[in-house]
């Protein structure tokens, strides 16, 4: 009997029984879980409320270099893919529990409370203010941000190309120029144009003017704007 192998679980249970009663054990575990739930609730509340925080107190040695981005890099990606970079309180969908866990872990590791959260995502992911798939960031300071969590699906491979024509005024004009050249090339000749020396140039200028006017009028009348004008604006397009 004395030579039986030791069951480690039995040894643990024996020592636990000596240290505390089962009732006290359950009370302590319940308190720990309750405290964790309080911490998570506070994080969710912070994410849901507007914040003016522009810097958080991080421990430099604990930061991961791959997660540190300057506002200029965030701005360029947002403009290229027509995304918004806005306060987390404007995000209309639920923040995943995994993100809450990562924030909680960061706060414990860095011995701080984080706030001023930002999210990069397409416009439709936000409850934008009326005028007349996401990345969660926390500010480090001096226009640097720390990437905390990414969720959802990756952006479609063609999204950058899709929104290139309305990236800014320059890309819009260039797109209209290229399309006008293509349409001019495929415009069938007729007796009238054949008799005019500069007919292709006249046709090109007419097409270009018509395209800029028509597309531009429709674009702005629909309440749209260029990517570089909306990436950090909390206003809704019609």
Residue ranges of the domains in the chain?
7-158, 163-230
pLDDT of residue 123: 86
Closest by CA position to 145, among listed 124, 114, 178: 114
For residue 192, pLDDT over 80 is answered with no
For residue 117, pLDDT over 90 is answered with yes
pLDDT of residue 21: 73
What is the distance between the alpha carbons of residues 94 and 98, in angstroms, rounded to a whole number? 11
Closest by CA position to 236, among listed 224, 220, 227, 221: 224
Residue whose pair of structure tokens reads 């926390």 in the numeric block? 138
pLDDT of residue 132: 44
pLDDT range class, residue 223, cuts 50, 70, 90: confident
What is the distance between the alpha carbons of residues 193 and 202, in angstroms, rounded to a whole number? 9
State pTM to two decimals. Answer: 0.76
pLDDT range class, residue 102, cuts 50, 70, 90: very high
Pairing between strand 144-150 and 135-141? Answer: antiparallel
């Amino acid at each position: 009997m004395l030579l039986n192998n030791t069951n480690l679980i039995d040894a643990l249970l024996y020592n636990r029984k000596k240290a505390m009663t089962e009732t006290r054990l359950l009370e302590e575990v319940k308190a720990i879980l309750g405290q964790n739930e309080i911490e998570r609730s506070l994080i969710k509340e912070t994410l849901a409320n507007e914040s003016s925080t522009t810097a958080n107190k991080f421990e430099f040695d604990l930061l991961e270099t791959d997660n540190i981005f300057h506002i200029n890099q965030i701005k360029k990606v947002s403009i290229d893919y027509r995304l918004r970079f806005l306060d987390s309180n404007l995000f209309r969908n639920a923040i995943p529990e995994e993100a809450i866990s990562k924030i909680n872990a960061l706060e414990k590791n860095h011995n701080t409370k984080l706030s001023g959260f930002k999210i990069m995502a397409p416009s439709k992911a936000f409850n934008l203010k009326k005028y007349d798939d996401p990345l969660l960031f926390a500010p480090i300071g001096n226009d640097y941000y720390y990437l905390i969590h990414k969720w959802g699906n990756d952006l479609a491979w063609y999204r950058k190309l899709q929104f290139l024509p309305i990236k800014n005024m320059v890309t819009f004009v260039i797109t209209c120029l290229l399309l006008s050249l293509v349409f001019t090339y495929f415009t069938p000749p007729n007796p009238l144009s054949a008799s005019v020396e500069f007919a292709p140039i006249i046709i090109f200028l007419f097409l270009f003017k018509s395209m800029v006017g028509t597309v531009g009028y429709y674009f702005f009348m629909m309440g749209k704007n260029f990517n570089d004008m909306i990436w950090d604006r909390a206003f809704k397009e019609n």
